[in-house]
Amino acid sequence: MWKTVWNYILLYALGAWYLLKELISSHKKPSGILNQSGRVAIVTGGGRGIGLETVQQFLELDMTVVIGGRNVPELEKAVSKVRGSNKDLGKVICLDLDLSSLTSVRRFAEAFKALRLPLHVLVNNAGVMFWPQEVTEDGFEYHWCVNHLGHFLLTHLLWPVLKASSTPDKPARVVNLSSSTHYIGSINFEDINSKIYYNAQAAYNQSKLAQVMFTKELDERIRAAGENIIVNAVHPGVVATELFQHVAWAHYFPWLVRAFLKTPRQGSDTVVHVALSQLALDGGHYYENCTKTPPAAAVRKPSDLRHLWEISCQQCKIVDFGGL
């Protein structure tokens, strides 16, 4: 019981601090972005919220965007709605992807490769927040699989395409969407699937910390291998999206969401900046409001980074991640 209470206290204290921080800080928009015509991006969960706004910004820059999501007709309908009559810029391809199924992740990667397109930007955006306890078909806790493990596997499977598409002047990039809640998260290496004790907030925080730790460890391995790919993590801000469907106060007081939280468009700005800006050309960082920000202390523990990497590879049945 006390664990649950403490998790709520930490979460709401952090949330209050970030709401205040964002209210008193000016919002920064993407900058330093060159011509993106002819370039290709993948956005997971690109049919709503931050993902859809990221897709729209990429299309406005004349990129080809491949969206991965669980309902292709709904993805197509959402993109058609945001594009309106402006169908001249960019191109969209929608493919089926369910990140709670590692089999689906593999199918998506094969479907993308069958398109024979390059891949310049991979945005690991899709996620769930405060999900009721559920185990995936592969036996993993739902947050863990959707937010971290599915994207870990997807990045591995697409690594050869990213590597082949990268050039010295325009390196390929991977953007992992994390959250400020990673600061209060911890990796429970003894019970990573939350079988002994389940708390939706703690499970979410753990998955978002894992994304930042994955980012840091992947960057270290990229550097060691001398490869030319940039990977960074992003906190998009406290954004009014459908992720808040399981947050009690947002359900009962929707006007608070509209009044104080960032819009999805604002939330996509840091994603787009990190994905495309010439001012974000080094990797292994965590960004908030288009600005490099020190991550949680847990991200600076090399032994934990390696341990998480090894567990993730084992769970995804990866022998050699991307050949790194």
| pLDDT values of the chain reduced to their tens digit, one per residue, 324 residues | 666 777 768 777 777 777 777 777 889 999 999 999 999 999 999 999 999 999 999 999 999 999 999 999 999 999 988 876 566 678 999 999 999 999 999 999 999 999 999 999 999 999 999 899 999 999 999 999 999 999 999 999 999 999 999 999 999 999 999 999 999 999 999 999 999 999 999 999 999 999 999 999 999 999 999 999 999 999 998 765 444 444 444 444 444 444 446 788 899 999 999 999 999 999 999 999 999 999 999 999 999 999 999 999 999 999 999 988
The residue type found at 315 is Q
121-124: strand order across its sheet: 91-96, 64-69, 40-44, 121-124, 172-177, 229-235, 286-288, 291-292
Strand partners, 96: 69
Report the DSSP pairing between strands 291-292 and 286-288: antiparallel
Q: What is the pLDDT of residue 249?
A: 43
Place of tokens 């993993």: 140
- Contact residues for 318 (Cβ-Cβ < 8 A; gap 6+): 153, 156, 312
The two tokens of residue 101 are 């199924």
Q: What does the alpha-carbon distance between residue 76 and residue 46 come to, in Å, rounded to a whole number?
A: 10
Show the DSSP H helices in the chain as ranges. Answer: 2-24, 49-60, 72-83, 102-114, 142-143, 150-165, 200-225, 248-252, 254-260, 264-276, 302-316
d(CA 138, CA 9): 32
Phi and psi (nearest 5°) for 220?
-60, -40
Give the separation between CA 249 and CA 111, rounded to whole angstroms: 40
SS3 at position 45: coil
CA dihedral in degrees (110, 114, 118, 120; nearest 10)?
-30
pTM across the whole model: 0.92
Residues sharing a CB contact under 8 Å with residue 179, sequence separation 6 or more, in sequence order = 204, 205, 208, 235
Cα distance between residue 76 and residue 95, in whole Å: 10
Task: Give the residue from 179, 185, 206 showing the smallest Cα distance to 194.
Answer: 206
DSSP labels, 221-243:
HHHHHT--EEEEEEE--SB-SGG
Q: How far apart are CA 59 and CA 87, in angstroms?
A: 9
CA distance 232 to 298: 16
Q: Provide the token pair at 182.
A: 């990673």
- Name the residues annotated as catalytic: 204
What domains, with CATH codes, occur in the chain? 1-83+102-135+154-316 (3.40.50.720)
